[in-house]
Amino acid sequence: MQKSAWRFFPLAIVVFLLTVVAVDGGMIFAAVHSFPGAADDHAFDTGNKYNEILENAARQAKLGWQLNVKVVSNDLEVTLTDQNGEVLPAASVEAVATHPVGPAQPTRFAFTPQGSRYVARSALPTPGQWDLGLTASVGDIKYIATRRVVVQ
């Protein structure tokens, strides 16, 4: 009696399904690890301005400025340095703080220069994580950065 080729059919189905699971798993892994975590309510408009966004980022990178933020007893302290590590004393620094999750609760505030730092006193009203949209200006030059801070 001849053996039927159909005896491999269950094995073929299992191999096919394992292949589908492996491909889907790879796609899920790639999607999760490549997602930048940014959600935009105006994704289409942002996509249309992508070249402009890249040009602004290159312009800022060419400046070589560094902006560091610390939370010291609910006060925000910003240090702004140029490409040589020298403090930029004549800058105007402003920020908008929002919660990254849940109600945004936007809070605007300005920083006052104090020595080599810029300080905003009692800037953040509640504990938790905050995203700071910072704008530093020196003359006609603007530097825009986003930093996340945690208030205890």
Strand order in the sheet with 66-72: 66-72, 75-81, 117-120, 112-114
CA distance 59 to 95: 20
pTM of the model: 0.65
Instruction: Using alpha carbons, select from 147, 151, 152, 141 the residue that is nearest to residue 60.
Output: 141
Between CA 121 and CA 130, with CA 127 as vertex, the angle to 5 degrees is: 80
List Cβ<8 Å contacts ≥24 apart for 53-62: 56/144, 60/143, 60/144
Angle at 117 between CA 64 and CA 135, to 5 degrees: 55
pLDDT of residue 125 exceeding 70, the answer is: yes
pLDDT at site 109: 86
**Residue 38 has what pLDDT?**
62
pLDDT, tens digit, 9 for 90 and up, residues 56-108: 889 989 999 999 999 888 788 999 998 898 888 788 899 998 888 877 778 88
